[in-house]
Amino acid sequence: MQFRHLPILALASLVAAQDSGNSTQSLNATLAGNDQLSNLTSFLSLNPALASALSQASEITILAPSNDAFTEFTDTDVGRTVAADPGLLSALLQYHVLNGTFQASQVTNQSAFIHTLLTNETYTNVTGGQVVEAVTVGNETVFYSGLLQNSTVTTADQNFTGGTIHIIDRVLTLPPSVLEAALALNLTSLYGALNATDSIDAATTRNITVFAPNNEAFNSIGSALANLSTDDLQSILEYHIVENVYYSTDLANGTTLQTESDDQDLTITTNENGTVFVNAAEVVVPNVLIANGVLHIVDNVLNPSNTAAPSASATAGAPGFTGSPASEQPFTSGQPTPTTQVDPSSEGAGPAQSTAAESESSGAAAPRYTGVEYVALVGAGAAALWGF
Ligand SMILES: *[C@@H]1O[C@H](CO)[C@@H](O)[C@H](O)[C@H]1NC(C)=O
Ligand SMILES: *[C@@H]1O[C@H](CO)[C@@H](O)[C@H](O)[C@H]1NC(C)=O
Ligand SMILES: *[C@@H]1O[C@H](CO)[C@@H](O)[C@H](O)[C@H]1NC(C)=O
Ligand SMILES: *[C@@H]1O[C@H](CO)[C@@H](O)[C@H](O)[C@H]1NC(C)=O
Ligand SMILES: *[C@@H]1O[C@H](CO)[C@@H](O)[C@H](O)[C@H]1NC(C)=O
Ligand SMILES: *[C@@H]1O[C@H](CO)[C@@H](O)[C@H](O)[C@H]1NC(C)=O
Ligand SMILES: *[C@@H]1O[C@H](CO)[C@@H](O)[C@H](O)[C@H]1NC(C)=O
Ligand SMILES: *[C@@H]1O[C@H](CO)[C@@H](O)[C@H](O)[C@H]1NC(C)=O
Ligand SMILES: *[C@@H]1O[C@H](CO)[C@@H](O)[C@H](O)[C@H]1NC(C)=O
Ligand SMILES: *[C@@H]1O[C@H](CO)[C@@H](O)[C@H](O)[C@H]1NC(C)=O
Ligand SMILES: *[C@@H]1O[C@H](CO)[C@@H](O)[C@H](O)[C@H]1NC(C)=O
Ligand SMILES: *[C@@H]1O[C@H](CO)[C@@H](O)[C@H](O)[C@H]1NC(C)=O
């Protein structure tokens, strides 16, 4: 009886021998040959045009969620919603494909922002394709996606003829609109201020950088904000929005950034500890990816009429306005409160930052926020918010 297996074993070892000579297989064969990737194959087969395009592509890197990652993702109403929305599923899969072949060894402890094949304007307005942040954390290769969510490489460098595959432990999170990000990150004053100035078009404008004051920043100058006209509030907000996408790696000392507020500039100052200031405000959480660019959380509201630089010895940001706390958190009246939140100060939200200690002032611990929960927001709110 045992003999019957011999030819098969012999054949298998022959194939293995050939593989060691040239192990580069097609994408389809590589996916089919990895039993951790059968869910990815299933999802790709729901999208034949994408599957076919990928199988013919060259110079790509696929961040391939394992079956466990997909199971976690789809084991909720939300995951099922995504799976049932071909457009959203397709966008999510495109977001998992990097434009270029990146071996894991090319990822370093300096963040890199790598364009993906997600270019559809329904989901992104980042020229060249939405990005992921690639960085090593300790001995691991990590990709950060929307809302500071991370995916860690569990098996790297599965080469195929068109590039390479890294198997990751969590499905990436599509970067949401600036408004959804503001809600999820508990930037509720910013959210309310954006809503109050209804001509603001930051939600969809192509290629922007938003310097996003946290709630403490708004609250600390509540009295100065209380009687602003809508026009004044709008020009203050526009002073926080820069035309073009500047990730942390682009914020070099002395850089000036043109804002949407009457072409007034912001100035970047960095000190020897690597702390980054925009005018006199400190960037406390950088690189929150959003649908149309990037958002950096800052610890003070910026004032177009006060462009003072930080003092040479500054260890935190300085206010751009003179004011005192209001009794109520500014601009939050009548605004939605998110049911799930990312606490940017909590461990694991985003790569370790030299400025992390300062950002811990945000108070009560938030519940951990997962990519799965996030998609609940997308499913429920995306259309309304993107049309905002
Ligand atoms: C292996 O085969 C693939 C496709 O058949 C080819 O593109 C690649 O260059 C080969 N690699 C080596 C090292 O021969
Ligand atoms: C995902 O993989 C698991 C096995 O790990 C399997 O039970 C499940 O049916 C797969 N789902 C899809 C959609 O392929
Ligand atoms: C790979 O598989 C997809 C379907 O999953 C198919 O559309 C495509 O033609 C295949 N590519 C090749 C080169 O066989
Ligand atoms: C972009 O996404 C929308 C919504 O899912 C879809 O209708 C459209 O066909 C997509 N465009 C392209 C070029 O794939
Ligand atoms: C990938 O990047 C190259 C430039 O490096 C660009 O020409 C090409 O259009 C990009 N591909 C996609 C699908 O965005
Ligand atoms: C978007 O950004 C790119 C650089 O990343 C720039 O070349 C392009 O002109 C920008 N597009 C718009 C509409 O601003
Ligand atoms: C990283 O190191 C930890 C323990 O130090 C180990 O458990 C883990 O497997 C390592 N990861 C990789 C990708 O080597
Ligand atoms: C994948 O390809 C790269 C570059 O060609 C090579 O350095 C690496 O050893 C290959 N990895 C495997 C697992 O064959
Ligand atoms: C991208 O820009 C287009 C045109 O302005 C707009 O219709 C679309 O909603 C924007 N998409 C996103 C995700 O912001
Ligand atoms: C904007 O604020 C009003 C109350 O002023 C509120 O009813 C509305 O829901 C808010 N819009 C969004 C998109 O949150
Ligand atoms: C990734 O996220 C998980 C849970 O959200 C967290 O426990 C972990 O520390 C994070 N890892 C990194 C490297 O950011
Ligand atoms: C959100 O911000 C409000 C106002 O600053 C604060 O009271 C609340 O504790 C914050 N929530 C979380 C989860 O950090």
Give the DSSP per-residue string, 194-224: HHHSTT--TTT-SSEEEEEE-HHHHHHTHHH
142 in a domain, yes or no? Answer: yes
* Per-residue pLDDT, 155: 98
116 in a domain, yes or no? Answer: yes
Residue 366 CA to ligand 12 centre (angstroms): 8
Asked whether residue 209 falls in the same domain as residue 132, the answer is: no
386 lines ligand 9 (CB under 6 A): yes
Asked whether residue 192 falls in the same domain as residue 167, the answer is: no
Residues 20-51 pLDDT 10s? 456 689 999 999 999 999 999 999 999 999 99
Asked whether residue 169 falls in the same domain as residue 78, the answer is: yes
16 in a domain, yes or no? Answer: yes
Residue 100 CA to ligand 11 centre (angstroms): 26
* Per-residue pLDDT, 337: 84
Asked whether residue 42 falls in the same domain as residue 82, the answer is: yes
Residue 140 CA to ligand 7 centre (angstroms): 7
Segments forming the whole domain that contains residue 286: 187-298
48 in a domain, yes or no? Answer: yes
319 in a domain, yes or no? Answer: no
- What is the average pLDDT across 266-291? 95
Predicted confidence band of residue 11 (pLDDT cuts 50, 70, 90): very low
pLDDT exceeds 60 at position 189: yes
* Per-residue pLDDT, 263: 76
pLDDT exceeds 70 at position 10: no
Closest ligand 12 atom to 362 CA: 14
Please give the mean pLDDT across all residues of the chain.
84
* Per-residue pLDDT, 273: 86
Q: What residues contact residue 346 under an 8 Å CB cut-off, 6+ apart? A: 365, 366, 368
11 in a domain, yes or no? Answer: yes
Asked whether residue 43 falls in the same domain as residue 165, the answer is: yes
Asked whether residue 134 falls in the same domain as residue 105, the answer is: yes
Asked whether residue 253 falls in the same domain as residue 158, the answer is: no
pLDDT exceeds 90 at position 249: yes
Domain boundary among 298, 315, 332: 298
Asked whether residue 141 falls in the same domain as residue 215, the answer is: no
Domain boundary among 252, 277, 298: 298
Please give the share of the chain, as a percent, with pLDDT higher than 90.
70
Residue that wins the pLDDT comparison between 14 and 383:
14
374 in a domain, yes or no? Answer: no
Q: If you take atom 5 of ligand 6, which residue's CA is the nearest one?
A: 127
The ligand minimizing its distance to the Cα of 136 is 11
Residues within a 6 A CB radius of ligand 3: 26, 28, 44-45, 48, 51-52, 55
- What is the average pLDDT across 245-269? 94
CATH of the domain at 262: 2.30.180.10
Asked whether residue 152 falls in the same domain as residue 30, the answer is: yes
CA distance 388 to 194: 10
CA distance 85 to 375: 12
Which among 131, 201, 242, 244 is the best mutation to test ligand 6's pocket, defined by most ligand atoms within 8 Å of the CB? Answer: 244
291 lines ligand 9 (CB under 6 A): yes
Residue 382 CA to ligand 3 centre (angstroms): 32
376 in a domain, yes or no? Answer: no
Q: DSSP code of 130? A: -
* Per-residue pLDDT, 345: 65
CA nearest neighbour of 158 among 50, 40, 17: 40
pLDDT exceeds 60 at position 204: yes
Asked whether residue 161 falls in the same domain as residue 209, the answer is: no
Q: What residues contact residue 355 under an 8 Å CB cut-off, 6+ apart? A: 275, 276, 282, 283, 284, 285
Residues 328-364 pLDDT 10s? 999 999 999 876 667 766 545 566 443 322 222 232 2
Chain centroid offset of residue 245 CA: 13
Asked whether residue 240 falls in the same domain as residue 151, the answer is: no
| Highest-scoring range by mean pLDDT, 13-17, 115-119, 256-260, 262-266 | 115-119
CA angle 366, 274, 268 (to 5 degrees): 95
β 163-168/60-65 pair status: parallel
156 burial class (0-12, 13-18, 19+ CB within 10 angstroms)? Answer: middle
Asked whether residue 79 falls in the same domain as residue 195, the answer is: no
CA nearest neighbour of 122 among 98, 95, 147, 143: 95
Domain count, the chain: 2
* Per-residue pLDDT, 43: 94
Domain boundary among 130, 149, 175: 175
Residues 281-314 pLDDT 10s? 999 999 999 999 999 999 999 999 999 999 888 8
Residues 129-153 pLDDT 10s? 999 999 999 999 999 999 999 999 9
- What is the average pLDDT across 239-246? 95
* Per-residue pLDDT, 339: 63
* Per-residue pLDDT, 38: 97
What pTM was computed for the model?
0.87
The ligand minimizing its distance to the Cα of 44 is 3
Q: If you take atom 9 of ligand 12, which residue's CA is the nearest one?
A: 364
For residues 271 and 311, the answer to whether their CB atoms sit within 8 Å is no
Residue 362 CA to ligand 10 centre (angstroms): 24
- CB atoms inside a 10 Å sphere around CB 312: 7
For residues 208 and 243, the answer to whether their CB atoms sit within 8 Å is yes
